[in-house]
Amino acid sequence: MSKLKIAIQKKGRLYEESIQLLKESGLNFKEGNNQLKIVVENFALEILLLRNADIPEYVEDGIVDLGIVGENILIEQQVDYDVLRKLGFASCRLSLAIPKAENYNDISALTQKRIATSYPNTLRAYLTKNNIQAEIHTLSGSVEIAPNIGLADAVCDLVSSGTTLFNNGLREVETILNSEAVLIKSQKINSVKQKSIDKLVFRMDAVLRPKKSKYVLLNVPNDKINAVSQILPVLKSPTVLPLAQPGWSSLHSVIDENQFWSVIDQLKAAGAEDILIIPIIKMVL
Ligand SMILES: Nc1ncnc2c1ncn2[C@@H]1O[C@H](COP(=O)(O)OP(=O)(O)OP(=O)(O)O)[C@@H](O)[C@H]1O
Ligand SMILES: O=P(O)(O)OC[C@H]1O[C@H](OP(=O)(O)OP(=O)(O)O)[C@H](O)[C@@H]1O
Ligand SMILES: [Mg+2]
């Protein structure tokens, strides 16, 4: 049986977290030595280390079965693939930016301007949708320098902290898209490989799910258990265990951490005390 193949970025912003996800999914392998192929010891899987920009095409052609890439590159390349999971890392946005002293009311300010980008297809589609005629200059990197050297009037590039824009005297004026790392699958998969993919994705889900959730323990007087349970944004119903101190119980549950912060004051007002929030390592539903 031929092994499943997954392509990940060889080096760059996606590499570390892609490797970490595979390792946390229980795959044993050795990295290093500048190798381009890693053989997994305990799963019929090969990891191919490629350029991020090359991965979508390999997936489309079925040369690899799975890939981990930034959504931005998928949108730019318009190839065929299925997105299996959003992975929650390498979050960034593709934005338009102009020199910070320039006036800007709306996108019509970019009419007839020269815009430098590594994402010409995505930018062209955005300009067309907004009825803007502008000149696109394609650069493969260091895009933010373009206005400073007189090569362009504006840029369209990835932003996360905004530091690169700030350091180059630019300000963000429009967001074209939001991106994060995704797991994609080739559309040329046979049923044997599909079984193997299901097994791998099942493991990845167990790793990804807890990143959004936390285990919470809180103490509540028995007569307030119902009130507190109703506020707690739990997955199912909480576990209730008696405390040694009479009249009190400990409530345990799994919660969405973001939702939790929005109800913390209500929980305390309803009688919850000694609240502990604990990270979860794996979660199988
Ligand atoms: N500043 C950033 N913050 C967060 N994620 C980012 C940032 N810049 C890029 N990314 C995401 O990481 C992906 C890889 O970026 P990186 O700069 O490592 O590689 P690249 O130069 O685009 O690709 P290649 O591997 O083809 O050389 C991008 O496609 C994007 O999805
Ligand atoms: O908003 P910030 O946090 O400053 O991040 C944005 C920068 O990050 C990316 O470049 P990267 O550092 O990946 O360099 P590269 O051009 O070599 O890919 C992107 O192309 C921006 O230049
Ligand atoms: Mg980059």
pLDDT tens for residues 14-62? Answer: 999 999 999 999 999 998 778 899 999 999 999 999 999 999 999 999 9
Tell which one of 160, 163, 168 to mutate to probe ligand 2, the residue whose CB is within 8 A of the most ligand atoms.
160
Asked whether residue 113 falls in the same domain as residue 251, the answer is: no
Asked whether residue 174 falls in the same domain as residue 69, the answer is: no
pLDDT tens for residues 208-245? Answer: 988 888 899 999 999 999 999 888 876 678 899 999 99
Asked whether residue 110 falls in the same domain as residue 151, the answer is: yes
CATH, residue 259: 3.30.70.120
pLDDT band at 257 (very low <50, low <70, confident <90, very high): confident
In a domain, 120, yes or no: yes
Distance CA 207, CA 30 (A): 20
| Domain span holding position 256 | 212-279
Q: What angle do CA 213, 273, 271 make, to 5 degrees?
A: 105
Report residue 24 as tokens: 């946390």
Asked whether residue 83 falls in the same domain as residue 184, the answer is: yes
- Number of domains observed in the structure of the chain: 3
Name beta bridge partners: 221. 248
In a domain, 80, yes or no: yes
Length of the chain: 285
Q: What is the SS3 string spanning 152-182?
A: CCEEEEEECCCHHHHHCCEEEEEEEEEECEE
Boundary (domain end) residue, out of 130, 154, 189: 189
Using CA atoms, how far residue 190 sits from 58, 183, 184, 187, in Å, is 16, 18, 16, 9
Asked whether residue 153 falls in the same domain as residue 113, the answer is: yes
State mean pLDDT over 115-126: 98
Asked whether residue 113 falls in the same domain as residue 77, the answer is: no
Asked whether residue 46 falls in the same domain as residue 160, the answer is: no
In a domain, 78, yes or no: yes
Q: What's the pTM value of the predicted model, to 2 decimals?
A: 0.90
- Going by CA atoms, what residue is nearest to atom 21 of ligand 2? 158
pLDDT band at 265 (very low <50, low <70, confident <90, very high): confident
Asked whether residue 76 falls in the same domain as residue 185, the answer is: yes
Counting ligands in written order, the one closest to the CA of 92 is 1
User: What pLDDT score was predicted for residue 235?
Assistant: 66
Residue 237, classed as helix, strand or coil, is coil
In a domain, 198, yes or no: no
CB 176, CB 156: distance < 8 Å: yes
Number of H helices, E strands in the chain: 8, 15
Boundary (domain end) residue, out of 157, 189, 221: 189
Report whether pLDDT(259) > 90. Answer: no
State mean pLDDT over 110-124: 98
Instruction: For CA atoms 236, 237, 239, 243, give the dihedral sign.
Output: positive
The rounded Å distance from CA 72 to ligand 1 centre is: 9
Tell which one of 164, 172, 176, 179 to mutate to probe ligand 2, the residue whose CB is within 8 A of the most ligand atoms.
164
pLDDT tens for residues 67-87? Answer: 999 999 999 999 999 999 999
In a domain, 262, yes or no: yes
In a domain, 111, yes or no: yes
Instruction: For CA atoms 63, 68, 74, 76, give the dihedral sign.
Output: negative
Asked whether residue 24 falls in the same domain as residue 143, the answer is: no
Asked whether residue 55 falls in the same domain as residue 97, the answer is: no
Report residue 204 as tokens: 């990845």
Q: Evaluate: CB of 242 within 6 angstroms of ligand 1.
A: no
Q: Which amino acid is residue 209, in one-letter code? A: R
Tell which one of 158, 166, 168, 175 to mutate to probe ligand 2, the residue whose CB is within 8 A of the most ligand atoms.
158
User: What pLDDT score was predicted for residue 1?
Assistant: 63
Asked whether residue 174 falls in the same domain as residue 184, the answer is: no
In a domain, 194, yes or no: no
Centre a 10 Å sphere on the Cβ of residue 244 and count the other Cβ atoms it contains: 5
Counting ligands in written order, the one closest to the CA of 13 is 1
State mean pLDDT over 142-167: 97
In a domain, 217, yes or no: yes
Report residue 103 as tokens: 């006036």
Asked whether residue 165 falls in the same domain as residue 229, the answer is: no
CATH, residue 160: 3.40.190.10
